[in-house]
Amino acid sequence: MDESFSAVPDAVAEARLTLVERLRGLGADDRSLTDVALAVSEACTNAVVHAYRDTKRGTFEVAAAVEDDLVHIAVTDHGGGLRARNDSPGLGLGLPLIASLSHSMAVKSRPPIPSDGVNGNARGCGTVLSMTFTLRRQAQPQL
């Protein structure tokens, strides 16, 4: 999966449902689906709420790949990057929650994208939140 979404609240549910349905199709069990759904919702919500606070709305991407019994997920935005925020509208529990649900997690700022030459403005550097989950599969019925 590699899809782009508008950074608006309704897109969080769309991104989560798209990913969960694809993992369900691979036989993921309910616990795996619940963990991924909650963590991806938190990551996408961070992109919607925090990434574009100084600019007009942008997009976020959700990329996922399955390798053996691991699912690697990255939520990427093109906003202002990681910065301290005294006026944060959230409780600050999203990243710790993602860390507790996932096998591993990393958050990185990206370097600014150079100017497009038309309007002279560089695009925001953005943030990539990477998560890895153990993909548990539904038990196969015994014949």
pLDDT given for residue 85 in this prediction: 56
Across the chain, mean pLDDT equals: 85
CA angle, 114 then 76 then 85, to 5°: 85
Nearest residue to 9 (alpha-carbon basis) of 81, 66, 57? 57
Q: What is the pLDDT of residues 107-139, one digit of tens each?
A: 998 766 665 555 544 555 889 999 999 999 987
Note if the pTM is more than 0.85: no
CATH fold for the domain made of 2-84+97-134: Heat Shock Protein 90 (3.30.565)
CA–CA gap between residue 114 and residue 124 (Å, rounded):
9
Q: Quick one: pLDDT band at residue 62, thresholds 50, 70, 90?
A: very high
Which of 30, 49, 46, 59 is CA-nearest to residue 131?
A: 46
What is the C-alpha to C-alpha distance for residues 21 and 27, in angstroms, rounded to an integer? 10
Q: Please tell me the distance from the alpha carbon of residue 9 to that of residue 7, in angstroms, as a whole number.
A: 7
Predicted confidence at residue 57, as pLDDT, reads 81
Indicate if the pLDDT at residue 140 is higher than 70. no
**Alpha carbon of 111 to those of 55, 59, 75, 132: distances in Å?**
17, 17, 16, 23
Average pLDDT of span 51-69: 89
- Render pLDDT for 74-117 as a digit per residue (tens, 0 to 9): 999 998 876 655 565 555 678 899 999 999 999 998 766 665 55
- As a whole-number percent, the residues of the chain with pLDDT over 70 amount to 80
For residue 116, what pLDDT is reported? 58
First-residue to last-residue Cα distance in the chain:
33
